[in-house]
Amino acid sequence: MTAITSFISQTMVYATVYTLTSLGIIIGGRTGIFNVSAEGILLASASGGFLTAYLTGSWLVGFIAGALIGMAFGFILAFVHETFKVNQFILGIILVIFGSGLSDLLYKIIVGVRLSAPQAPHVPAVTIPFLSKIPIISGILNQDVIIYFMYFAVIISYWFYYKTKVGLETRAIGENPKAADVVGVNVKRRRYLATIIGSALIGVAGAYLPIAITGTYSPDISAGRGFMAIGIAIFASWKPQRAILGGFLFAGIEVIAFQLKLISANIPYQFFLMLPFISVLIIMMIFKKQIEFPASVGKPYSRE
């Protein structure tokens, strides 16, 4: 019973990172901006968010800093692409490299080399009376506030895209920006907003890694999860409600890989590190016929 509760709890924690990151990619992709820089945003916001939380003693300020760093990356992506028509994928790779270097640089400048790693302030958990003491259910409900924020973000995104006029217009941009422009939708403004908001969610996911999961920052803390989130966004067919399913699926695979690594001493641990990435490829191949893309994703748009 304890093992099941522990598995559920760990899966939910890692699912938060995957879901928020893939949701951020989906939000931008719905307007045609394919944000492949998620790995760089995760790293930069992990470092910046952790340092802010550590220096201020506030986990909330740390997450706000992570979101702001994500927004800065999103603005750069949207501005350079919309202004200079630089290829989104090339620009995304550049931002990944930039974020990777920036993350370690910030940490080394502010913290330097220490015998003991600095610790982030504790993120409070949400406890529900009576239900919090029931086995298995407690592993689902007794979680930190960012996990509940993840649920809220998915619900709001689904409501926005499928239940509001503005959301329908935003989805139309991803399918046919010229048609949306003709009926009066400001395509450039929507692309900016979607990319910046989506990148803010990725920034929150990045800050979540050192503040809530590990308790401290370490180089390459994202461990490729930003790249895996791209696969989840594609697997979800750019739908918010499916992003959370993909997040839980791949988080569960990652937790299982961790457990197998602990009990399989004769197998090199690098093999288990490969399992989540291999699972992405296998699942993509299985569901390739069900995958849908916004028609204009990755393509620049000019009014002329």
Helix %, strand %, coil % of the chain (to 5): 75, 0, 25
pLDDT in tens, 161-192: 999 999 999 999 999 999 999 999 999 999 99
pLDDT 10s digits, 107-148: 999 998 888 889 999 999 887 766 666 666 666 777 899 999
Tens digits of residue pLDDT in 98-110? 999 999 999 999 9
Question: Hey, where are the domains in the chain?
Answer: 23-118+134-221, 223-293
For the chain, the average pLDDT equals: 91
- What per-residue string of b and e applies to 126-162 under the rule 16 or more CB within 10 Å gives b? eeeeeeeeeeeebbebbbbebbebbeebbeebbebbe
User: From CA 192, how far away is CA 187, in angstroms rounded?
Assistant: 9
